[in-house]
Structure 1
């Protein structure tokens, strides 16, 4: 709207372009689940495809859109890797090739045996278009505070950082092309974050400080 009004002012369609007060940029969402909350959420998913989707979101750190499009031809159970990108041309945002860990392996093996379509996440033999309703129902049954599907991707990044995984590896896992984006979000969760800086501020010899109690009258 501001662009249109500015153009109208320059072309003298209106005397002058009014100034539009823009709303403040909202604070970034900062919701991370604990490991206990993740376990509760998976346990609360009553439908197998919802449970598998949640497990995939956490263990692959992928967006739900990529997972709903994931087909079995990109899941290599023998080599234990998942190629999230549909091809080498795109879309590739957030779509890395990631390993299959032990937690996910058993679930994928069961899904492969019972599946009847080309899609990893299926319902009634068909591709699933959305898990929003089932996911929100699982959140409610789990009794955890509000969270979104994308919060699981964010949570996966935090879990890796807390385990001391290098930022470059986390960036590759998340499909980030710029590790600085990953560092700005997850570096503070690393157990080594700012440790070197704190070490530079050590005071030697160690000063003993003893508190004195206030005297009461």
Structure 2
């Protein structure tokens, strides 16, 4: 260190003391400051479970952080991370994977820095200075022909109880967690309603869902087959609900031979069928339990055949006067 550099540091210390600071305490605070890696651990292992985040959500966040953020900035102090650092991570993830994964990582980091602000580990969120990448809308719903193939595969699947879970996801548009944790006391089969408690819904609001007659008939059959359990889909010992339908879904999907789809695509499929058969967006949104119309717009899509019929009728009407 040169004499001039030492003088600059000394002057900075004097200014800090004059303003009521404590250089010794500040150095200690810097050494003890939380690193990005420590913040990630706190977010995934403490904050996430306390807030009731799904295990898959936490696992996905951990995977993104471990692959693209922590190898480069994990040892950096949270207070030292800049907007430029976040932009660097964001851009690198887009180049290595995709803009969708880059935006997901940015969202995870933003929630982490919000947590850091709440714990007074820093005073601002550097992610707010980084804009999301434009995402092309993905049409993740099954066509009528694919739905037919899926239902045929459900009919031939060896575990019909699990197949009923897939059918219920499709016929109601419910979320996986709502279906697997459902209990019979939530259903009024005489009136044809499913009342989901707020503890099971993503919006934390009670959701009253009307059921189609075919769905009610299926539920009556399911109830008669397992009359001694409170759960629609009990686990092996019957004392707890089934955790997942991942393996049955993969087997049914492979048997249907309709390409790769996620279970959540059944929710989009339900919404798209409703919209394409005449339901308006408000009705579709109510059925899905959405609180905002913009959310429903991201789920429901008109079938291409319906769009084609519409534009054909419009064209014929325009040509009729010639």
TM-score band, normalised by the shorter chain?
0.7 to 0.9
Residues 80-116 of structure 1 deviation map (CA, whole Å, 9 limit, x = unaligned): 11112x24xx343267321121221221111111113
After superposition, the Cα gap between the structure-2 partners of 1:48 and 1:124, relative to the gap in structure 1 and judged at 3 Å, is farther
After superposition, the Cα gap between the structure-2 partners of 1:153 and 1:7, relative to the gap in structure 1 and judged at 3 Å, is same
Deviation of residue 55 (structure 1)? 1.3
Say whether the 8 Å CA contact 2:168–2:215 is kept in structure 1: yes
Residue 34 (structure 1) aligned with residue 146 (structure 2)? no
Residue 58 (structure 1) aligned with residue 170 (structure 2)? yes
Deviation of residue 36 (structure 1)? 2.9
Residue 96 (structure 1) aligned with residue 168 (structure 2)? no
2:224 paired residue number: 113
Structure 1 distance, partners of 2:248, 2:177, is 15
Give matches, 1:3-18, under 5 Å: 7-8=79-80
After superposition, the Cα gap between the structure-2 partners of 1:6 and 1:19, relative to the gap in structure 1 and judged at 3 Å, is farther
Say whether the 8 Å CA contact 1:71–1:120 is kept in structure 2: yes
After superposition, the Cα gap between the structure-2 partners of 1:128 and 1:165, relative to the gap in structure 1 and judged at 3 Å, is same
Structure number with higher helix proportion:
2
Two-structure CA RMSD over aligned residues (Å)? 3.4
- Secondary structure of the residue aligned to 1:97 is strand
Deviation of residue 122 (structure 1)? 3.0
TM-score by length of 1: 0.75
After superposition, the Cα gap between the structure-2 partners of 1:131 and 1:188, relative to the gap in structure 1 and judged at 3 Å, is closer
Structure 2: unaligned runs, 5 residues or longer: 1-68, 101-135
Deviation of residue 149 (structure 1)? 0.6
Residue 71 (structure 1) aligned with residue 139 (structure 2)? no
How many residue pairs end up in the alignment? 196
Deviation of residue 39 (structure 1)? 2.8
Which has the larger Rg? 2
Structure 1: unaligned runs, 5 residues or longer: 11-15, 208-217
Structure 2 distance, partners of 1:31, 1:60, is 17
Q: Which has the higher contact order (CA 8 A, sep 6+)?
A: 1
